[in-house]
Structure 1
Amino acid sequence: MNWPLTTERLNLQPYEVSQAERVTELAGDKAVAATTFVPHPYTLEDAQNWIRTHEEWIKEGKAYPMAMVLKSTNELVGTMTLRVDHKHQKGELAYWVGKPYWGKGYASEAAVRMVEYGFETLNLQRVWSAAMSENPASTRVMQKAGLSYEGTLKHDIYHRGEYKDIDVYGMIAEEYHS
């Protein structure tokens, strides 16, 4: 694949280890960890180790963790990932956005492009995503990417000392191509 995937305002491209400090700064924010699956505290070593796994994941087609980078300033704003399950020809969309960039539509813009990549380039049969029910911003991202509500998994995860409900959204290839 030729990277980056582009949108109007973003380049979605593989991470470089040199971005680890910025990843730590953004993903390590307590507010980001509160409503995502990003661990907290999130150290520089965590970020470096995570980024070092990407090349192999991408080469093997297991996952495509892309840095969301503003075209205008080359600033990292967050991550948009598509994790691929080849046996079932489906992909899971997963993402986080640094708090200074919340509410600007970057995740939605990147999600639309990643869903397109999943169906048009990877020929997936299904793309899905999940978010904590208490995270309406993430739900809006999934909706704007064209995914439909499929259900709520009650007390599906144990997060920060309590059980949380998870909303699941998805789309199948037939819906995407119609």
Structure 2
Amino acid sequence: MDIFLETERLVLRRFAESDLDLLVELDSDPEVMRHLTGRPTKRERIAQKVLPAILAGYERGLGTFAAHAKPGLEFLGWLELRPDDGRPAQVELGYRLRKSAWGSGYATEGARALVEYAFTRTATTKIHAETMAVNSASRRVMEKVGLRYESTFHEDWKHPLPGAEHGDVRYTLGRAEWYAASQRKNLQDLS
């Protein structure tokens, strides 16, 4: 197992070619895909495009990481820090978890670890995340890890999903903001 990071309850590892079935299973759940594409992703697309892109992403030092719950290492889904094309000091935070893992804090725990990693171990100066405005669960994760609402925007989708009329939202967090919040938390923990 090619471990990238560990938290109290999670192991984040790099994907391997042998993980195709895990990704297919994850993207086969219509509830998981509800705010993304609205439908399951075809196995051929995952095999030919999604998994090769994930594997190629590690060359840039960050990427998409399989999330496993400790102690038994059950596969939960993935979390990612993806470099923003054209802006090397900016990355996008993302996560996709099995429905059985929703509501248990795994996305928040993993996202916090990735945010800390980005700001303490890379040259990242800004992190952003996007979701549909109606995806309140994803928005809560963004807020819990310190990202703040920046804007609402509307895409021109060929096949709009239910709720698309409300647009998508973008949340951001800069290194200086994160550092200041970390220092405040450390001081609170000491008192």
Partner of 2:178: 176
Alpha carbons 1:10, 1:69 under 8 Å: kept = yes
Residue 81 of structure 2 aligns with an amino acid whose one-letter code is L
C-alpha separation in 1, matches of 2:85 and 2:177: 20
Alpha carbons 2:16, 2:55 under 8 Å: kept = no
State, as a whole percentage, how many aligned pairs show the same letter.
30
C-alpha separation in 2, matches of 1:159 and 1:11: 37
C-alpha separation in 2, matches of 1:122 and 1:3: 17
Correspondence 1:140 to 2:140 = yes
Partner of 2:186: none
Secondary structure of the structure 2 residue equivalent to 1:156: coil
C-alpha separation in 2, matches of 1:157 and 1:86: 21
Alpha carbons 1:7, 1:110 under 8 Å: kept = yes
| CA distance 1:87–1:160, shift in 2 (3 Å) | closer
TM-score, normalised with respect to structure 2 = 0.82
Gap regions ≥5 residues in structure 2:
181-191
**Structure 1 residue 131: deviation in Å?**
0.9
| CA distance 1:161–1:55, shift in 2 (3 Å) | closer
Partner of 1:85: 84
C-alpha separation in 1, matches of 2:63 and 2:78: 10
Which structure would you say has the larger Rg?
2
Partner of 1:43: 42
Partner of 1:3: 3
**Structure 1 residue 54: deviation in Å?**
2.7
**Structure 1 residue 15: deviation in Å?**
0.9
TM-score, normalised with respect to structure 1 = 0.87
Partner of 1:105: 105
Secondary structure of the structure 2 residue equivalent to 1:42: coil
Structure 1 runs of 4+ with >6 Å offset = none
Alpha carbons 1:93, 1:127 under 8 Å: kept = yes
Which of the pair is proportionally richer in strand? 1
Partner of 2:187: none
Secondary structure of the structure 2 residue equivalent to 1:66: strand
Secondary structure of the structure 1 residue equivalent to 2:151: strand
Gap regions ≥5 residues in structure 1:
none
RMSD across aligned C-alpha pairs, in angstroms? 2.0
Correspondence 1:13 to 2:7 = no
C-alpha separation in 2, matches of 1:17 and 1:129: 27
Alpha carbons 1:36, 1:96 under 8 Å: kept = no
| CA distance 1:130–1:159, shift in 2 (3 Å) | farther
| CA distance 1:125–1:159, shift in 2 (3 Å) | farther
**Structure 1 residue 134: deviation in Å?**
0.8
The number of residue pairs the alignment matches comes to 174
Give deviations 1:49-104, integer Å, cap 9, x for gaps: 3223333211134x510011112121111111111137531011111111111111
